[in-house]
Amino acid sequence: MTDKIQPMASSTKGVKHALETAISKFTNATIKKRKVMAEMQINQYLAPGLEDSLFGKLTEEVMFHILHRLSLNDLSQMSMASKAFGKVIYAYVTEEQFAMRVARLLIKIPISSVMLLEQSQYVGRLLKRVSFLFTVDFRLKFFHQHIQKVQRLVEKESANSLPIDTLPFVGAVLQSFIAGWDEGECLKVFTFMSDCLFLYRSISRFVCDAPGTDLDNELFLRRNLRYLFLDRCVTDYDRAIWIGFISNQIGTAQLAKVLLLLYCPINTHGQIDWSFAFNVRAFQQHTNVFFKLAKTIGILQLIPNWSPSLSLEVLVYISNVPNCWLLRSFSSVLLPLSSIDMNLVVKYFEILYKSGRASTASLLMALALMISPQFIGHNFRNEIVVDRSCVHQLISNIINAPRLTPERYVVVKKLWGAVLTLADDFAETAVQDEVHGGNNNDTIDDFHDLMDAWKDLSIILMSV
């Protein structure tokens, strides 16, 4: 029995020796590989023709020190000189040193300054150029890792001071980073950022709740959608593309709610003022808000595969969030919208008249005439200009609309009656205020504006 056991023991020792030898070789090879990688110079990125040059003989530390002295714009330009330079600068950009450089920009320069916006565009362009050979998925991960690194360093460096809002900077960098990408690539961007920030979940929660239910979620959604996607867009088409991605997840009623969330005014408590449209002086206090809403509704037609009827649905729904608006506030959207998409506004009035709501339509037109002095001459970002001819054109187009030809007499009669009714109401209110010793300046101003509207209406009707 002993004679049989001995060969088995020697066999076991042989296997053990073989395993130990293999493990030893693997360990030595791993150590050697790590040593070679640790000693590898930055010239591994250089083309054969550059390896023997003075630049190719520099160590990584010296080379990165030189790159650190260049401006962001120079780095961006240099990265396009050749693939070799692009790889070298890519290696520099992925280092903590570069992230700290960007973080210090955020700490030193005010967030709202033009200089920081310019620098953020340089950062985005640099990230774009050093990663242009990679896939979209890899580039997005590369962008996100860099931004996370910068945000962590900003938070660390400014721990003993007021917190710095990095989101506007991130949005500017992102828009510069993806400039020129097609619609399919932008959809990947929206999906990637939404997954990182759980935006889809926030949108779903928001559209299911009544406005004002979850204030934190509303502000979170507003800030991220505006700063990351909408506020830094170069063209209206770009903005329409992002809104289209949002609308793909929800219906037109919910989209109207989201658009109002994006552009509602913020009250003194830092909360979204959902009740602004119920203020009779909203057309004076929130003129810019009405311009923004009109501008956004007007560019919906640029969304791919978007139907004009959907824009009309959004317009109708938006006037009922959170409840039915004052007619004066809704006319404050229709007036600037008519200078962007006149056909949409005329179509809306046609539906009102055809559905037996002639009185509402006439009041809206009379109020649009009355509030027009507040909008005339108000140049919104050099994009929307409402002038007297625009107001006259709106009324004329409604009266002369082909679909309203049978009702033209009713349209004119109701419109004239609406102006007279409003004039009587304002005059009576002004008298009552004066009797009770109240401040009737606003009412008197409204009455005077309506008298001017009366004159304008007479001119319009004579020219029709």
Read off φ and ψ for residue 384, nearest 5 degrees.
Answer: -120, 125
pTM higher than 0.75 = yes
Residue boundaries of the structural domains of the chain: 327-464
Residues 372, 335 contacting (CB under 8 angstroms):
yes
Residues 350, 403 contacting (CB under 8 angstroms):
yes
Q: How far is CA 97 from CA 91, 130, 149, 164, 397, in A?
A: 11, 16, 11, 20, 62
- Measured between its terminal Cα atoms, the distance across the chain in Å is 122
Instruction: Give the CA-trace dihedral at 89, 92, 97, 99, to 10 degrees.
Output: 70
**Range with the largest mean pLDDT of 102-111, 137-146, 380-389:** 137-146
Q: 382-440 pLDDT, tens per residue?
A: 567 787 788 888 889 998 899 988 888 888 888 888 888 887 877 777 777 666 666 66
How many residues in the chain? 464
If one compares 208 and 48, the residue with the highest pLDDT of the two is: 208
Q: Distance between CA atoms of 394 and 398, rounded to whole angstroms?
A: 6
Residue 374 has pLDDT above 90, yes or no: no
Choose among 418, 314, 425, 413: nearest CA to 360. 418
The mean per-residue pLDDT over the stretch 195-203 comes to 95
Q: 225-281 pLDDT, tens per residue?
A: 999 999 989 899 999 999 999 999 898 999 999 999 999 999 888 889 999 999 988
Reported as a pLDDT band with limits 50, 70 and 90, residue 457 is confident
Q: Distance between CA atoms of 450 and 437, rounded to whole angstroms?
A: 23
Residue 322 has pLDDT above 50, yes or no: yes
Residues 300, 310 contacting (CB under 8 angstroms):
yes
The mean per-residue pLDDT over the stretch 119-148 comes to 94
Cα atoms found within 13 Å of the Cα of residue 295, Cβ hemisphere only: 22
Rg of the chain's alpha carbons, rounded to an integer?
32
Give the pLDDT of residue 26: 43
Give the pLDDT of residue 437: 64
